[in-house]
Amino acid sequence: MGLRDFELRIENLFESTFAKASRRGVEPVEIAKRVIREVDQNTMSGAKYALAPNVIEVSLAPADYTNLDPVMKSIKAELLVLLKEHAAGSEMRFVGPLSVDILLDQEQKFGSIIVECGFHEDSDYQEKMVLRFEGGSSVVLSDAMVSVGRMPGSTVVIEDPKVSRSHAELFVSDQRAFVRDLGSTNGTFVNGVRIKDVVELRDGDQIVFGRTQGIFEVQ
């Protein structure tokens, strides 16, 4: 989800409220741009990956906060999604659970946005990687290999005639998720592209086995 997608989703959910607020002050997409910029500027180089700040605080003037208050929960939820997707696409890793808070600052000027980023390390923290299928079923990806196919012994058994008995496999290595096609007849597709080798997965990727669709999520 890019910044334009972020803006459209907020507008679609709360069109009338958003329109009234956006004409008078800070817009959600402005907050998103500032948050992304501050996260990028405060990211530190790690041994293998860039380490991104995981505690984000946004301060707004009273009038701006009041204008956006009716949609505040949704803005924060969408910011979390946007940040996770941005981090995944930029080879960043968070050192702990990601949090975003939007605060009211009585001393702040109308129309201004102040973003503060920090690190709060949690040694037990590990992103949860999930493959979610249409219909609600899901499987958590871990170090153990996840096999997909019609064969009864598969980790994920898919009763789809277009799915091969041993169709594909998914695995996690060094906190990164991958999918591999096992020479299936009808193929494995990631975001509409048929894969021929191992492909690394990103948050929100759509995976199709035969005619069965799943979505890869990082939680």
Render pLDDT for 88-105 as a digit per residue (tens, 0 to 9): 778 788 888 899 999 999
**Does residue 65 register a pLDDT over 90?**
yes
Q: What DSSP designation does 123 have? A: T
Task: Kindly indicate the confidence band of residue 16, based on its pLDDT and cuts at 50, 70 and 90.
Answer: very low
Task: State residue 19 phi and psi, 5-degree precision.
Answer: -60, -45
Residue-by-residue DSSP string for 40-96 = HHH-EE-SSSEEEP-EEEEEE-HHHHHHHGGGHHHHHHHHHHHHHHHHHHTTEEESS
Could you give the percent of the chain with pLDDT greater than 90? 58
- For residue 179, the tally of other CB atoms under 10 A from its CB is 24
| CA proximity to 100, closest of 124, 129, 67, 78 | 78
Taking only the tens place, the pLDDT of each residue in 31-61 is 999 999 999 999 998 777 788 999 999 999 9
pTM greater than 0.75: no
Distance, in Å, from the CA atom of 147 to the CA atom of 166, rounded to the nearest integer, reads 8
Fold entry, domain 129-218: Tumour Suppressor Smad4 (2.60.200)
- In 3-state terms, what secondary structure has residue 29? helix
For the chain, percent of residues with pLDDT exceeding 70? 87
Assess whether pLDDT exceeds 50 at residue 181. Answer: yes
Q: Which fold has domain 1-118?
A: hypothetical protein PF0899 fold (3.30.2320)
Question: Please, what is the average pLDDT of the chain?
Answer: 87
Domain boundaries, the chain: 1-118, 129-218
